[in-house]
A and B are shown apart, each in its own frame.
Chain A
Amino acid sequence: MQTAKLKRTSLYASGANPINMIQAAFYNEDCLVYDMEDSVPNAEKDTARLLIYNTVRYHRPANKYVIIRVNGIYSEYIDEDLEAAVRARPDAIRIPKVEYREEAVRICQRITEIETEAGMEVGKIEVWCNIESYLGLINAYEIATADPRIVALALGAEDFTASMKAHRTKAGMEIFYARNMLLTACRHAGIEAIDAVFSDINDPEGLKEDTALTRNLGFDGKTCVHPRQIDIVNSFFTPSEKEIKYALRVLEAVEEGKRQKKGAVTLDGSMIDKPMELRARTTLAQAEAAGIAIGGMRK
């Protein structure tokens, strides 16, 4: 699925730390995730909730896709987290550790109830579900299709590998199947797939290798653990000039074929099929979303 807003990079900003939240808006991430969950100590859940609410409701960065990650579905914080998160009016709410379709349905219903109570437009807030266990992975397609609000699944590799009794490695073979299964579920559901973090913030070469795999597998974006990862990850999800030019040639050939009422079209001696046309359209849509004006100049 191609959307107008890019979701190449998601950066977490802890709700426990005002300076962290303020600075996060100045990096180049596409999605800024204000976090009520793991980065916030239990004793500060109340303060983080209010800090995130006031930030997103009244001073959200205009050029970001703003997400709020709430606490776990079965935590004592989830009810009040949702009251605050919905009323803050983010672009999306990110739900951690979703394992069953019914959980996603219940959260989406609650969001609808709060939107209605608050007199907000119902259905506007999107939902991302974090898949962080083998159960969540097995049920990924069911979760992905649980509600029209759900626009993305995001893989949480650390918890997933723990649930599998696997060991997390830089090469990532232990999550290779999970990446593919999550992607397959997302593609079939027509929603976006967000890859797991690369944890070592001091290994840019490792990040490049990992992100190349992320992109080649077909993911739409990747979660970042540190601002210094953002530009590297963005670069892998922004089409190159060569890719844009090739995409334009593919689409020109397709159009020419239509004009000439040809059933089969070739380019440089190769047959252009539907998947090639789709990839070309995706490339141009990604370029446009990244602010590249086709023809050379960045917007």
Chain B
Amino acid sequence: MEIKQAAIVGTLESSDIQISLLPNPGKGLEIQLQSVVKVQYGDAIVATITEVLESFGITDAIVDAADRGALDWVIRARMQAACCRATGTKFNWKGEDQ
């Protein structure tokens, strides 16, 4: 799926993560992460971000993530919202039934 516009989702408050999702045509995925727990959970956060991008079929994007200690499902939710906004699509709720 193609990113049509830049999208920013989330906040810089505690337990949240702010995701900026930008187009990156033909250049693959570039994920930049700032996190207070990067040493401990950086790989897991990037894995969640990558997984959501893959579920939307997004192969070219720049993700700038500013994490404030968000839990996994918060990261997932923020990424899903960012992908919907950036691609101009609604979330596929029926896809959750599989």
Contacts and interface: CB of A to CB of B under 8 A. Distances in A.
A and B held together in a complex: yes
B13 A19 contact: yes
Contacts of A117: 94, 97
The 7 closest A-B CB pairs, nearest first, are A83-B93, A19-B15, A54-B73, A50-B77, A54-B77, A51-B77, A47-B81
Given A19-B13, A47-B9, A47-B81, A87 B97 contact: yes
Interface string A55-81: 101110000000000000000000010
A126 interface: no
Contacts of A118: 94, 96-97
A84 interface: yes
Given A18-B71, A54-B77, 18 more contacts: A18-B15, A18-B16, A22-B15, A47-B77, A49-B91, A51-B81, A55-B73, A57-B96, A59-B71, A59-B73, A80-B90, A80-B93, A83-B93, A84-B93, A117-B94, A117-B97, A118-B94, A118-B97
Interface string B58-78: 000000000000110110111
27 contacts: A17-B13, A18-B71, A18-B74, A19-B13, A19-B15, A19-B16, A47-B77, A47-B78, A50-B77, A50-B78, A50-B91, A51-B77, A54-B73, A54-B76, A54-B77, A55-B77, A58-B73, A80-B91, A80-B93, A84-B91, A84-B93, A87-B93, A87-B96, A87-B97, A117-B94, A118-B94, A118-B96
Contacts of A55: 73, 77
Given A47-B77, A50-B77, A50-B91, A18 B70 contact: yes
B10 interface: yes
A34 interface: no
A22 B97 contact: no
A46 B97 contact: no
A53 B91 CA distance: 12
A275 interface: no
B80 interface: yes
A119 interface: yes
B84 interface: yes
Contacts of B9: 47
Q: Give the interface residue-count category, chain B.
A: 20 to 34
B14 interface: yes
A47 B86 CA distance: 13
Contacts of A59: 71, 73
Nearest to A52: B77
A117 B81 CA distance: 23
**Which of A50, A51, A58, A117 counts the most B-chain CB atoms under 10 A from its CB?**
A50
Interface secondary structure of A, over-half rule: helix
A14 to B, nearest CB: 12
A115 to B, nearest CB: 11
A277 B10 CA distance: 54
B24 to A, nearest CB: 22
A51 B80 CA distance: 9
A128 B59 CA distance: 43
Interface in B36-61: none
Contacts of B71: 18, 22, 59
A19 B14 contact: yes
Nearest to B74: A18
A83 B73 CA distance: 18
A47 B85 CA distance: 10
A119 B97 CA distance: 7
Contacts of A51: 74, 77-78, 81
Interface in A22-55: 22, 46-47, 49-51, 53-55
Contacts of A54: 73-74, 76-77, 80
